[in-house]
Amino acid sequence: MESNSGIVFYRSDVGMSIKASPENVVNTQMATVIGNKEYYISTIEHLLSAVYSYGIDNMRIVVDGAEVPVMDGSSASFCMLLDEAGKRVLDENKNFLIIKREVEVTDGQKFAKVMPSLKPTYDFTIDFAHPVIARQEYKFEHSKKSFLEEISRARTFGFLKDVQYLRSRGLALGGSLENAVVLDDHKILNPEGLRFKDEFVRHKILDAIGDLSLLGATVIGDYKSFAGSHNLNHKLTKEILKDPKNYEIKTLSKESFEELEKVLA
């Protein structure tokens, strides 16, 4: 992959390339979807969360259908594949997007925002009327190491009644207890239970990292959300890029980035 190409998905079944960028997002209802009215690629956020956390910003991802494989519902499998493949440092400087002022989007009481900071953190709160989930908050300082230990294994989750409704419409046919945490009205249905006691909010952070990676550069700033979603994250990326005063693009040489990687690894 050439320098400054960004993250590009390629659908081999239709011969179409789609760059991972906010302007190419076409749906955010159940997952982040990029493409156009005719062809698209869905559920890109779990893979992109891993790619971003590994510091990779130039990559060609080939898929042979309309959805990235869900794997186990987390980013863990993608991390293992990235470890196996390795990465190459290119000759061009690396771009960083520095948040210069607070930017916020809202939907009633729900919000997602970014703020200036030199140590990027993700601070997420959820509040579900469900006895297992209830209110959860998690704050996490981003680095590759902390992502692997605290976030990457957190699985997506859903409610049995929603899965049943989707299947009645011919959707979510591949969904199972193998690739998501599924809950009925009272309990978790997965026999193995949770990987973390607050796995639900950790997965929301995983999603947010993937969604914000569409900005196309490593983000230096804090992210905070209450009851956020793919839709709010998408609106936030567009709001950030709307005004050049909200951010600044800076570059680091190969040597300087290698020194920074020692800190962020």
Which of the following is catalytic: 46, 142, 203, 230?
230
If you average pLDDT over residues 112-120, what whole number do you get? 95
Structural domain spans, the chain: 7-264
For residue range 162-193, what is the model confidence (pLDDT) as tens digits? Answer: 766 555 555 454 556 888 999 999 999 999 99
Question: Is the pLDDT at 15 greater than 60, yes or no?
Answer: yes
DSSP string for residues in 223-260: EEEES--HHHHHHHHHHHHH-GGGEEEEEE-HHHHHHH
Question: What's the rounded Cα separation, in Å, for the pair 30 and 229?
Answer: 9
Note the residue count of the chain.
265
Structure confidence at residue 30 as a pLDDT band (50, 70, 90): confident
For residue range 39-86, what is the model confidence (pLDDT) as tens digits? Answer: 999 999 999 999 999 999 999 999 999 999 999 999 999 999 999 999
Structure confidence at residue 7 as a pLDDT band (50, 70, 90): very high
Block residue for tokens 């980013």: 75
The Cβ-side half-sphere exposure at 75, using a 13 Å CA radius, reads 31
The pTM of this model reads: 0.92
Can you give the pLDDT at residue 257? 57
Can you give the pLDDT at residue 167? 55
Cα 22 from chain centroid (whole Å): 13
Q: Which CATH architecture fits 7-264?
A: 2-Layer Sandwich (3.30)
Q: Is 130 a catalytic residue?
A: no
